Structure 1
Amino acid sequence: MPAREIRPRSPLPPSPAGRRRQNDSSDPAHHGLPVHEVVLLLETDAARGLGHDEVERRRVQFGTNELPRRHTGGIARKLGRQFNNPLVYVLLAAAVITAFLGEFLDSGVILAVVLVNTVIGFIQEVRAEAALDALHSLVRTHAAVMRDGERKQVPSEDLVPGDLVLLQAGDKVPADLRLVRLSALRVDESALTGESDPVSKDQVVLPQVTPVADRRNMLYSGTLVTAGSGAGIVVAIGGETELGEIHRLMGSVRPVATPLTLKLARFSTTLTVAILALAAVAFLAGLAHGEQPGQMFTAAVALAVGAIPEGLPAAVTVTLAIGVRRMARRRAVVRRLPVVETLGSTTVICSDKTGTFTENQMTVRALWTPSGRYDITGSGYGPDGHILASTAGGTAGGQEPGAAIRPKDRDAALYWSLLGGAACNDASIRPEGPGWLARGDPTEAAMLVAAGKGGARVRDFLAANPRQGELPFTSERQFMATLHASTPTRGEVTVFVKGAVERVLELCGHEMDSDGGNRPLRRHAVLTAAHALADTGLRVLATAMLRLPADGGTLSNIELHGRMTLTGLQAMHDPPRSAAAASVAACLRAGVGVKMITGDHVRTAVTVAAAVGLDAYHGSGSALTGAQLDAIPAGEFANAVERATVFARVSPEQKLRLIDALQSRGHVAAMTGDGVNDAPALRQANVGIAMGRTGTEVAKEAADIVLTDDDFATIEAAVEEGRNVFDNLTKFMVWTLPTNMAEGLVILVAILLGATLPILPTQILWINMTTAVALGLMLAFEPKEPGLMSRPPRAPGRPLLTLGLTVRILLVSALLVAGAWWLFEHEVATGAGVAQARTSAVNLFVAVEVFYLFSCRSLSRPAWRLRPFGNRWLILGVVVQAAGQLALTYTPLMNELFHTAPIGTDAWLRIFGLALLASLVVAVDKRFRRTGF
């Protein structure tokens, strides 16, 4: 049953579309109702959400939360689209005129070829739609909901009206929601309203006639949360959302063409026009020689059909589809097809550090307070571990180095640092299977674990001091703050802050001693300790707190600057991924530069960069901070970015500038990211790469590729697959073009000389139709070349075919023309009939294509140096093609349809001898000219 807006008890508008059509309706819309009335109407709970049984009932009643799939037409329409091709127009015209001239058999064969090509195109379109649906499922959006009072992550399509959805910065709104609570919530609604600036939200009840763009108490499906957090009740799902209405009005959208396919389309169109013009000239030349119009038209059709590489579009489609599938198997989901080609040209990868070069499994390793340093044992998110007086920093908290301590008894600053880090926190940890599962930011999860190891009673504190306000972490703010109200008898509130050391220090005027008292802040000592921790590869965050009277105001208007008390530093370790160093080395060998862009401290970033192999680039100016970037003059900025390898403490605007600078230097730049702040740079990059596991929906929407494992090694694999896709397309072009050119030239020479045609139009159609499917498309399955990642990236402006490859195409074409003419004349001279001579010529074309196919498996290495069964699809294609040629030559039905005749063993020996000679010539060309990619 299609999704619709729920109306349990009171008359509500039938749908967003209905509201637009009936603006004068007296029915109340959700933005015009108080929250409690919306809760009653939808029979839900604003705190606990729906129960499991009720969710199942509503899913049956209202369907899934999915937009209606775009209707691409039925079978007839899909089949009809296959005729929209210049080649098909030429073939249909040839079939009609051939029938008019009485050559009904030839006309029937031409129509059969058109039908076969149509069926092949139809099958490819159906398969492409199925593949697209499968890829969409890999990047399915999830939503956080409250059900039966428990927070859960569910697929967005499982949402039902009445669900209570929880949102935070970076989330994509999964359905139309009426807000029930929020904190500093801002939403990018440009996808819906066209307004570029994020909109601040509130819960005020609005007039019924308020337009969509002004409904501040509503969130709409498809929009993006850019700041803050909130919760809302689902009021419309699927096609009944505001986005669903837009979806219905959009109509059909043309598929995106890659730069490669656009070049090929122009190439094919230009070639078609040129060949038709040449065919017309040949037709007129034949008439001038006194030939019959019917014969000359047949010859002109043969020339036109033979010279057009009709298998090229199919090869492009299949090769790109195989490349996308291979990338998906290697955990890189391609969202936009053009990126498959662009990846092969990538010259620099700008990668985030956390989660891409590292495991994104944070563990607090060291703690520092104004009283000393501590170590912490245990790893991962499990609770096992202790806090020890550090052996690196002498005694701490009055304990001998290495002794276990209880923070609350020995160092009040340490206790409040642990408690503050856990209270100013949105993560959660729970046991799952043999281990522990963290939800939320890994850094916050690590601080929760550290608090547990230190004995901080976080739940007790939050029960007595519930959170009543927050300032969410943003890339601009670089800290998070929470406000906790105490019991009325104490009459005070507590503010906790955690974030980047430099930003937290700007808020602090004091530091806490071991007894819990305040003393003046020693800024230099704090920075020295932070640098020492960062130098060991640890990520360092600072914690601070402030106590105020209960009437001190809300968090948004409390002045924090200079009033906070520093409680300590927490330093955590995120180990580099095991495959990161090898992947970085592979990229560098391939001529692809790698740059690390992170919000972390520069010392931490440089340490991790060294661990993954980027230290080879370190030198003067190789690591730059955001502040240093701002100080670089505009004229020197691009050069500085080119030289540097590590960029730390950068802002969203600076990320965008970095990409612009690299592109201005001629780079094809790939950019990774996972947060809201990464979206502009992901859009600007030639290849935007989002993290699938930890990435926000904003980042995924902006990206071209989503990594399902967040691993840098997957980026290297995607670049490798992109190069292989382009290589295989090049191989197909180098293989197919000589045959098409030779077929056209054989006919042209015959017409100009007034000689008998060595090959007929129907025979040319047989060659092109069968070899493109059975032989050429098998190159799409060709495995990667051994030196694929050892050569430099392909220049963006480089033509599809190099001069050397063009010469090889002309060489093979000339061999085919000469061989076909010699064989045809030889067979006729030795007493064979014209049909037998033509059959020999047809088999020669196919035999040369088969031998040349093995040569084209590599454009630089000889065929005998390749693994013979490295591409089993190719072997299967050759067997199928051989069976077809035997049927063409020896079965009476095929003899009648294609004007062929059986040939003897001596003719086959000549055919294979010429094919072998052509292979040897190509091998010599490879050996002495070293022509490759």
Structure 2
Amino acid sequence: MTTAEPAYRRSAADVARELGVDERRGLSWDEARARLAREGPNTLPAARGRGPVVRFLLQFNSPLIYVLLVSAGVTALLGEHVDAVVILGVVVVNAVVGFVQESRAEKALTALAALTETTATAVRDGARVTLPAAGLVRGDLVELEAGGKVPADLRLLRTDELAVDESALTGESVPAAKDPAALPEAALADRAGMAYSGTLVTRGRGAGIVVATGARTELGDIHRLVHDTGAVQTPLTRKIARFGALVTVAVLALAVLTFAVGTLRGRGAAEMLTAAVALAVGAIPEGLPAVVTITLALGVARMVGRGAIVRRLPAVETLGGTTVICTDKTGTLTRNQMTVTAVTAGGRDYTLTGTGYAPSGTLERDGEPVDLDGHPALRETLLAGAACNDAELVQDGDSWQVAGDPTEGALLTSAAKAGLGAAPPRVAALPFTSERRFMATLHEDGTVYAKGPVERILELCDDAPADVTARAEEFGRQALRVLAFAKAHTGAGHLDDLPPLTFLGLQAMLDPPRPQAARAVRTCHDAGIQVKMITGDHAATARAIGARVGLGDGAAMTGAELAAADPGRVAATTVFARVSPEQKLRLVQALQDAGHVVAMTGDGVNDAPALKQADIGVAMGRTGTDAAKESADMVLTDDDFASIERAVEEGRGVFDNLVKFIVWALPSNIGLGLVLVAAILAGTALPVLPLQVLWLNMTAVLVLGLPFAVEPKDEHIMRRPPRDPALPLLTRAMTLRVLLVSAILLAGAFGLQHWERAHGASTGEAQTIVVNVFALTLMTYLFNCLSLDRPLLWRGVRRNPWVAVSAVALAGIQAVYTYVPAMNDLFDSAPLDGPAWLRVAAVALVSYVLVELLKRVQRPR
């Protein structure tokens, strides 16, 4: 359109004239084709995915990997081709593991998405035609019917009981009734004269003029927000990246220093290049990417069993560090299924148990089951809801769905729970319209049933209890949607002259919380995690649902209030209502700017930008839109908010295990670097060769490191607060422990090498001693690290049998390395005698005792 005024504020006739379209005949085919060529198809820009080659190459995008690749090149230039191949093999294995996991997640998500082509019914040259929605253009006249999807943004021309489910776009849980009248300034969810692309028609029919297609629709605006929102690094990837950069700088500096000092002292350049490569390979934790990937992949596998598909590995750990969970309401905390929970009839109040559309539940009064035979007013109220109704309940296996308006589906379910059969056959009906504001049906036995808002039905009744209005207002304060019911008898076979009605009663309904939502919210609070509900629904409804799931009973902040609100008030608020996608996105960004790690859950198109911006986006797999799933890091296949709590627990366990592994593995790398630097400075022969260093890193580190991937979670893991996102990967206490073991390795390995050489040992024997000092000390240090704050030793072995398996496996591997002739030839190793093994074991035992003493000193009182 050429005018800047929104279409909903202008009359439909004015919009039709602006777009040059006949309100009855639509566009001509020639004009439609010309506009399609000029404006392009009614599709959103396709997201550019990364192909398999790019995804594989991105696995090498790490400073640590760059140093290893350079080391492999230098080694090859020095003629050590075996060493170069082994280094490259390590790098490729790490890349393959990451690539395979990412590919599996993408395939699982693709299988989850339902790929269907949307069609539309349009009027071209006065004839109704069905065509792909992609072929619609501005000015097209489109017809809507119940069950169909709105194919573009429409300015409605005419409506007949038209109601549209806009929850995926606005978060509004109740279908929006449509009316073609122009409106003043209104929020997206209140624009009754518009129907928006991607929403679903739940009732009635209508027709409208296309005013926006493709990227110019409201759905397109959200798509643009998603596209403009950059990918956010997770806390783990940020910490690993900083750690990797620090290690890379330190390794390069040490390697350059080693080469410079050695050459200045007159040692050959080739020998110093070998020493520099050995130092680089030794100081870089080659096993770290593999163990991190395996640990995260095992966490992913466990999450699949708990109903979640993880698209990106670090997402598992990120949930463990979450400090705020921003959750959508409709379909996430609630079931997105209207349910009658209370009935008032004959001056008495009744309750209905059960949720959703399944006709399973009981009708009770004061906690006791109700027999309809003694409650005629109740029977008639429930029967009126089932009779004055155009919906249908459909059973699909164990699941029940509604075909038609969700509110009418809830009325059918309440009647079925009470055991009522079908109403007498209908002979006539007065549909609900915005002017009439009620619906009435005439049945074969002459009974007329009517339903509608309380005030409208009371206008049609010649008698009604005095407290009906007060009772309806009480239901309203509980955010229940209330409908009133009445009846009459007539001998006429039509409804042209509606007789005076007799008031029957009220039915009150809501979209109920999921059964486990309140417990999951409470568990998150116990774990120190804030939960904030952000929804496009009305404030009263949001506030009531928030109170039901444990988010307090304070006032809900609206999106309009959010922009001008004080940051302190925003931080203290737990329920946000009538929030647009842009406001939701800004709220997530504000929480991140305040230092929070934010998890965002949602299922609608309107959630997609915030899902992408959040540190961890979690979409619903069953009811979630494709836009939400594609923007999320994790997809819950069971659509249960309680799965978030389980994911947080899993993520905390993953992070604990990664920290244990890093604290355990780093002394090996630091110790190897220190031993090599000490040898250069002392002017002695290299204590280990590059290939021997690789042997250590890819056998001892991997074999002993794998038990950390399956280490059980601490039983109190959900009773402690989230870790501070600002804290480094390793605390000061952990760093001190790493340095202690590194010093022990330096003293033990360097000292024993000199001892062996002084007592006539060969170079191969001395180097074999050094390799085994590292291997056995790492073995005993493994037992230190099963718990970072208390001794576990045998208890640790009992709860994780893989610890013992790894220790035995390493002993066997080192025996092969030391005594098998082929290994001696390949790695320049040599057999050791009994006394040499005793000296190696003594170093490992001293290390274990000193670390346990340090743990005791560091343990909080």
TM-score (norm 1): 0.66
How many residue pairs get matched?
A: 744
The runs of 5 or more residues in structure 2 that have no matched partner are 1-27, 35-45, 120-131, 136-142, 153-158, 170-177, 181-193, 208-218, 224-229, 488-500
107-116 vs 750-759, which moves further: 107-116
Say which SS state the counterpart of residue 786 (structure 1) adopts: coil
One-letter amino acid of the structure 1 residue matched with residue 271 of structure 2: Q
Matches within 5 A, 1:712-751: 712-751=641-680
| 2:78 is aligned with 1:141 | no
Counterpart among 337, 347, 354 of residue 372 in structure 1: 347
Say which SS state the counterpart of residue 507 (structure 2) adopts: strand
Equivalents in 2 of 1:567, 1:375: separation in Å?
14
Counterpart among 259, 269, 273 of residue 297 in structure 1: 273
Change (3 A) 1:127 1:517: same
Matches within 5 A, 1:483-502: none
| 2:611 is aligned with 1:638 | no
Instruction: Report the alpha carbon displacement of residue 827 of structure 1 after superposing the two structures with TM.
Output: 1.7
Deviations 1:864-898 (A, max 9, x none): 26431433444444343333211211111111111
Equivalents in 2 of 1:30, 1:855: separation in Å?
78
Matches within 5 A, 1:38-437: 72-73=51-52, 90=67, 94=71, 104=79, 106-137=80-111, 139-141=112-114, 224-225=198-199, 258-335=234-311, 337=313, 339-351=315-327, 364-368=340-344, 372-373=347-348, 375=350, 403-406=373-376, 416-417=384-385, 419-420=387-388, 422-423=389-390, 425=391, 428-431=392-395
| 2:821 is aligned with 1:892 | yes
Say which SS state the counterpart of residue 737 (structure 2) adopts: helix
Say which SS state the counterpart of residue 706 (structure 1) adopts: strand
Equivalents in 1 of 2:559, 2:59: separation in Å?
54
One-letter amino acid of the structure 2 residue matched with residue 783 of structure 1: P
Change (3 A) 1:873 1:793: same
Equivalents in 1 of 2:438, 2:607: separation in Å?
25
Equivalents in 2 of 1:354, 1:360: separation in Å?
6
Contact 1:675-1:695 within 8 A present in 2 as well: yes
Contact 2:620-2:635 within 8 A present in 1 as well: yes
Contact 2:287-2:701 within 8 A present in 1 as well: yes
Equivalents in 1 of 2:73, 2:585: separation in Å?
58
Counterpart among 846, 849, 853 of residue 778 in structure 2: 849
Alignment correspondent of 2:523: 586
Contact 1:185-1:201 within 8 A present in 2 as well: no
Equivalents in 2 of 1:185, 1:385: separation in Å?
29
Alignment correspondent of 2:7: none
Deviations 1:590-624 (A, max 9, x none): 212345667589699669856x6x4xx8xxxx423
Instruction: Report the alpha carbon displacement of residue 907 of structure 1 after superposing the two structures with TM.
Output: 1.3
Say which SS state the counterpart of residue 458 (structure 2) adopts: strand
Deviations 1:543-595 (A, max 9, x none): 26999xxxxxxxxxxxxxxxx99985323588876655654443233212345
Change (3 A) 1:275 1:657: closer
Say which SS state the counterpart of residue 340 (structure 2) adopts: strand
Alignment correspondent of 1:904: 833
Instruction: Report the alpha carbon displacement of residue 902 of structure 1 after superposing the two structures with TM.
Output: 0.2
Alignment correspondent of 2:812: 883
TM-score (norm 2): 0.70
Say which SS state the counterpart of residue 786 (structure 2) adopts: coil
Instruction: Report the alpha carbon displacement of residue 144 of structure 1 after superposing the two structures with TM.
Output: 11
One-letter amino acid of the structure 2 residue matched with residue 758 of structure 1: P
Equivalents in 2 of 1:298, 1:440: separation in Å?
76
Change (3 A) 1:121 1:878: farther
Change (3 A) 1:117 1:886: farther
Equivalents in 2 of 1:128, 1:651: separation in Å?
34
Deviations 1:514-535 (A, max 9, x none): xx44779978524454269x4x
Alignment correspondent of 1:561: none
Equivalents in 1 of 2:199, 2:512: separation in Å?
30
The runs of 5 or more residues in structure 1 that have no matched partner are 1-26, 34-66, 147-158, 175-180, 191-199, 203-216, 233-242, 248-253, 394-399, 472-479, 498-503, 548-563
Contact 2:659-2:729 within 8 A present in 1 as well: yes
Deviations 1:761-795 (A, max 9, x none): 22112111223432224422222122221221112
Counterpart among 847, 858, 878 of residue 787 in structure 2: 858
Equivalents in 1 of 2:336, 2:731: separation in Å?
44
Equivalents in 1 of 2:420, 2:151: separation in Å?
38
Matches within 5 A, 1:735-814: 735-814=664-743
Q: Percent identity?
A: 41
Contact 1:170-1:697 within 8 A present in 2 as well: no
Deviations 1:49-76 (A, max 9, x none): xxxxxxxxxxxxxxxxxx99968457xx
Alignment correspondent of 2:759: 830
Change (3 A) 1:784 1:835: same
Alignment correspondent of 2:458: 511
Equivalents in 1 of 2:233, 2:395: separation in Å?
47
Equivalents in 2 of 1:262, 1:648: separation in Å?
30
One-letter amino acid of the structure 1 residue matched with residue 394 of structure 2: R
Equivalents in 1 of 2:779, 2:473: separation in Å?
71
Equivalents in 1 of 2:503, 2:279: separation in Å?
84
Alignment correspondent of 1:445: 409
Change (3 A) 1:751 1:829: same
Change (3 A) 1:336 1:348: same
Equivalents in 1 of 2:309, 2:642: separation in Å?
14
Alignment correspondent of 1:45: none
Say which SS state the counterpart of residue 554 (structure 2) adopts: strand
Equivalents in 2 of 1:85, 1:703: separation in Å?
24
Contact 1:626-1:651 within 8 A present in 2 as well: no
Instruction: Report the alpha carbon displacement of residue 853 of structure 1 after superposing the two structures with TM.
Output: 2.1
Contact 1:419-1:456 within 8 A present in 2 as well: no
| Root-mean-square deviation over aligned CA pairs | 5.6
Contact 2:671-2:745 within 8 A present in 1 as well: yes
Equivalents in 2 of 1:294, 1:383: separation in Å?
82
Alignment correspondent of 1:11: none
